[in-house]
Amino acid sequence: MMFKYVYIFNNQKTLGYIDAKNKAEVFDFLSSKQTNGNNIDLVCVKRSYIAFINKFLFRKMFKYKDMYIMFGFLHKFLSKGLSLDKSLKCISECKIKMSSFCLDVYEIIKNGKSFSHCFKSKSEHFPRNALYPLLLIDKVGDLDLYCQNLSDYYKNISEKKEKINKAMRYPLGLLSFFVFIFVFLVKFFIPSIVDIFNDMSLEIPMFLNCIHCIGNNLGSIGLVLLVIMTLLYYFNYKLDYIIDRLPIVGAYRRYRDFSFFYKSISLFINNGVHLTDAIKNTGNVFSNKKMVEKINSITSSLLSGYSLHKSFERADLDYMDVIMIDLYEKSGDIKLGFEFLAKANEDNMIEIIDLIKDYAQPLVLIFTGVLLGLIAYVVLSPIQYIISDLK
């Protein structure tokens, strides 16, 4: 729940909002601000329903571009020998979109919380599918390298999505324009044509009558669509399950998840963590049920004495992944094998994004052409029908 607080510190009045379970957490947060013997004069702490509504309806969502910039800066500061809290403080002083977020994280870390806890408590600002790599951030043992990997990963995704957006900007703009024209014709032009047909006692064509019915019920149709979209928004986990059934979406998410899975394991192994523990720790951050089941199967097989490639085979992982891990296992360099698999899955994921970019534009243009033909029919067909009937 969201709380509003007002306090006076160093003769300055400060108002703010915080997401906390109860008032005790708010008091703990405010007490952490007391430094050099200066006490906070607390004025008010109360629950804020307006802030709670704003959190879900008007929340500020960070994009992949914002995330790769932040983690890029974090990597640079950490590689120079600065501590995590000082690095976050430096970023908060920069004029980037995530500066205020870094300041909040800095305050939370000063209060004794872990880095991953900060991302979990601020999860509403992140795309849900981008969150799980962040929950592992302080467990891999090499924060500097992990931040670099996250920066490179989010940068790659951001650049590809930007290319898709640029390729789709003109077709979607064109489609939106013709949708507007079609709605205008259906709402205002078609009723006039139908009146002319009725005045002349002519039979209204079936297709034109259907379009007229759509125009008469356009408000109801819009309301139903709004309700459906609202329900899908609130039940987005169910929607995600349905979307996962689409072949291209399911493949993209599978490659994305396994790319992160293999990369994280290689980082754990690099820091001396046992293979079974590395797989178990990485599996704990996933929310995808199928992914969790596969990781649990691998872990239980390894504990039962099976080799790594046999464990992969028993978990029904991709055939090529099983073959490659078998080769690297026999060569004695499992860490390199996981790095190779991470790169291969990431390449496959990027390939799907490129595929979407290549095919989405023609499909939108085809749909626009169909809509344009429908508009031409709506405009010309009644005129032609009336003329032919008069003859």
Note whether residue 141 is domain-resident: no
328 and 276 inside one domain: yes
188 and 96 inside one domain: no
Say which residue, 207 or 47, is predicted with more confidence: 207
Note whether residue 147 is domain-resident: no
**CATH number of the domain encompassing residue 299:** 1.20.81.30
- Specify the pTM: 0.66
How long is the chain?
391
Number of domains into which the chain is organized = 3
89-93, 205-209, 383-387 — which one is most confidently predicted on average? Answer: 89-93
140: tokens are 């891999």
Which of 93, 113, 89 is CA-nearest to residue 29? 113
Residue 297: pLDDT over 80: yes
Handedness of CA 275, 276, 277, 280 (dihedral sign): positive
CA atoms within 13 A on the CB side of 131: 19
169 and 37 inside one domain: no
- 47 membership: H or E segment, kind and range: strand 41-47
Compute the distance between CA of residue 261 and CA of residue 303 in angstroms, rounded to an integer.
Answer: 19
pLDDT of res. 35: 45
98 and 197 inside one domain: no
Note whether residue 361 is domain-resident: yes
Compute the distance between CA of residue 373 and CA of residue 284 in angstroms, rounded to an integer.
Answer: 53
Compute the distance between CA of residue 124 and CA of residue 60 in angstroms, rounded to an integer.
Answer: 8
Note whether residue 140 is domain-resident: no
pLDDT of res. 233: 61
Residue 217: pLDDT over 50: yes
- Domain final residue pick, 39, 58, 77: 58
Do residues 306 and 298 lie in contact, with contact meaning Cβ atoms separated by under 8 Å? no
**Mean pLDDT (whole number) for 197-226:** 77
Compute the distance between CA of residue 63 and CA of residue 126 in angstroms, rounded to an integer.
Answer: 7
53 and 103 inside one domain: no
Residue 121 belongs to domain spanning? 64-126
218 and 305 inside one domain: yes
120 and 243 inside one domain: no
Compute the distance between CA of residue 18 and CA of residue 5 in angstroms, rounded to an integer.
Answer: 8
Name the phi and psi angles at 122, rounded to 5.
-110, 30
249 and 171 inside one domain: yes
Q: Bridge-partner residues for 6, per DSSP? A: 15, 44
Compute the distance between CA of residue 8 and CA of residue 40 in angstroms, rounded to an integer.
Answer: 6
Tell me what the pLDDT averaged over the chain comes to: 76
CA 238 to chain centre: 15
41 and 72 inside one domain: no
pLDDT of res. 122: 73
Compute the distance between CA of residue 335 and CA of residue 312 in angstroms, rounded to an integer.
Answer: 15
**Mean pLDDT (whole number) for 13-31:** 65
Q: Bridge-partner residues for 8, per DSSP? A: 13, 41
Q: Bridge-partner residues for 148, per DSSP? A: none
Note whether residue 136 is domain-resident: no
202: tokens are 């002519």
360 and 233 inside one domain: yes
77 and 46 inside one domain: no
Note whether residue 134 is domain-resident: no
Residue 53: pLDDT over 60: no
DSSP assignment of 246-274: SHHHHHHHHHHHHHHHHHHHHHHHHTT--
29 and 73 inside one domain: no
pLDDT in tens, 166-189: 877 887 788 788 888 878 878 887
pLDDT of res. 195: 80
Compute the distance between CA of residue 319 and CA of residue 344 in angstroms, rounded to an integer.
Answer: 13
Say which residue, 235 or 191, is predicted with more confidence: 191
Note whether residue 362 is domain-resident: yes
Residue 43: pLDDT over 50: yes
pLDDT in tens, 98-112: 788 888 888 878 777
- Domain final residue pick, 110, 126, 142: 126
Note whether residue 133 is domain-resident: no
